[in-house]
Amino acid sequence: MTVKGWCPGAWRPMMSGDGLIMRIRPRLGRLDRAQILGLCALSQSEGNGILDLTSRANLQMRGVQESRHEQVLSALFDLGLLDGTAEEEARRNIVVTPSWETGDLTTRLHDTLLCALPEMPDLPAKMGIAIDTGPNPLLSDTSADFRFERTTAGTLILRADGADKGKEITAANAPAALIALANWFVASDGRTAGRMSKHLKTTTLPPEWTQQPPAATALRVSPGPVGQGHVYGAPFGSMDASALAALIQDSQATALRVTPWRLLLLENAQHCDARDFITQASDPLLYTHACPGAPACASATVDTRSLARALAKPGLHVSGCAKGCAHPRPATTTLVGRDGAYDLVENGHPWDAPRATGLTATDLLTPAS
């Protein structure tokens, strides 16, 4: 298993079994209608026609040939979906609460924090920022190291991930507060730990950073109509680009917002037939995890997604190998590919000791008599 020490982007893609993976980080998690239709067309012409939703609310093109990387960068630039440099892209690791409104605190913070990024110290590549400043936090389970949130009184805090409380700040001094917390992380040797929450297991934050708790986390959106449009789910976070383009056209959506939960919010969308997408909150596919598996990932020796579809139930994770990319957390039932068969882990991570080994798909699909 190869552990990758950086977050892939468009400028610095990652090689996979089916070509380059190019990650696109849309600003505010939003693509307008022309951008999403253009990206769907690009995925079909230059990739393998699949777009993935990531757990940090980004989009991934898969299957891009190395020799076409520059042409795809140029097309992304024309669509307004490319940062100016690889450095800018790497630093702009920001996830925002998807229910923002134009001109609200979330969008204003987003714009001011962008200006602060060049002044941030060098941080480990996986570190990121959550602007979770709706009335209640929604992104508490989404990977981030610096969390902007509101308190129950509605005031703004910046909280280090792993701490129960944050420092009260204002929108005006938010950039300075972010830079100060990042500088503390570096000065206290946080880079050795790599992530804020891991660092706080051995290092105590100065008291000024632990003043106020955030408001209680709210329920995330689910498939169906919402104030800004309509929410659809993507099984395993993977979408056929032609099906997504058809959904945008048929629903007359004016824009798409990506969420960290394998859900898309289509702005001003009409209800329409969406066979390739999840439309019901009760659909077990929404709660079943599976990475691309073989042959898409070079580390996998087994199929993952057709087995996961057949066995779909909440708490099931089918992983192509012990790395567990789709759900690097414990699950009720985890099937882990190894040497062309599956190991079964119960109530554990993909890398934990299995209860059974060497199972075939037939074993797993055959009901016990």
Our CB check for ligand SF4 shows the closer of 63 and 320 to be 320
Alpha-helical regions (H) of the chain:
33-46, 69-78, 86-91, 105-116, 174-187, 190-193, 196-199, 241-251, 305-311, 361-365
- Rounded to a whole number of angstroms, the minimum distance from the CB of residue 131 to ligand SF4 is 28
364 is a contact residue toward ligand SF4 (CB under 6 A): no
Q: Contact letters (x/-) for ligand SF4, 312-351, by CB under 6 A?
A: -------xxx-xxx--------------------------
> How many of the chain's residues bind ligand SF4 (CB under 6 A)?
12
Residues comprising the chain, all counted = 369
* Other C-beta atoms lying within 10 Å of the C-beta of residue 369: 3
Q: Contact letters (x/-) for ligand SF4, 272-291, by CB under 6 A?
A: -------------------x
Q: Is 19 left (phi over 0), alpha (psi -120 to 50) or beta?
A: left
299 is a contact residue toward ligand SF4 (CB under 6 A): yes
Q: Binder to ligand SF4 among 300, 307, 308, 316 (CB under 6 A)? A: 300
292 is a contact residue toward ligand SF4 (CB under 6 A): yes
- Rounded to a whole number of angstroms, the minimum distance from the CB of residue 11 to ligand SF4 is 21
Using an 8 Å Cβ cutoff, are 35 and 80 in contact? Answer: yes
C-alpha 352/C-alpha 367 separation (Å) is 25
Our CB check for ligand SF4 shows the closer of 279 and 299 to be 299
- Rounded to a whole number of angstroms, the minimum distance from the CB of residue 325 to ligand SF4 is 3
Closest CA to 26 of 87, 110, 119: 110
- 335's enclosing H/E stretch is strand 331-338
Query: Both tokens of residue 317?
Result: 């994770």
- Rounded to a whole number of angstroms, the minimum distance from the CB of residue 291 to ligand SF4 is 3
- Rounded to a whole number of angstroms, the minimum distance from the CB of residue 4 to ligand SF4 is 9
Q: Is 176 left (phi over 0), alpha (psi -120 to 50) or beta?
A: alpha
Q: What is the largest CA-CA distance in the chain?
A: 65
Our CB check for ligand SF4 shows the closer of 92 and 338 to be 338
Using an 8 Å Cβ cutoff, are 48 and 11 in contact? Answer: no
CA distances in angstroms from 322 to 20, 232, 301, 329, 344, listed in the order given: 22, 30, 11, 11, 11
Which residue's Cβ has the minimum distance to ligand SF4? 320
C-alpha 223/C-alpha 56 separation (Å) is 19
Q: Binder to ligand SF4 among 96, 178, 297, 316 (CB under 6 A)? A: 297
C-alpha 243/C-alpha 151 separation (Å) is 40
Our CB check for ligand SF4 shows the closer of 55 and 251 to be 55
Our CB check for ligand SF4 shows the closer of 91 and 262 to be 262
- Rounded to a whole number of angstroms, the minimum distance from the CB of residue 328 to ligand SF4 is 9
- Rounded to a whole number of angstroms, the minimum distance from the CB of residue 56 to ligand SF4 is 16
Our CB check for ligand SF4 shows the closer of 171 and 298 to be 298
- Rounded to a whole number of angstroms, the minimum distance from the CB of residue 357 to ligand SF4 is 17
Q: Which residues contact ligand SF4 by CB under 6 A? A: 291-293, 297, 299-300, 319-321, 323-325
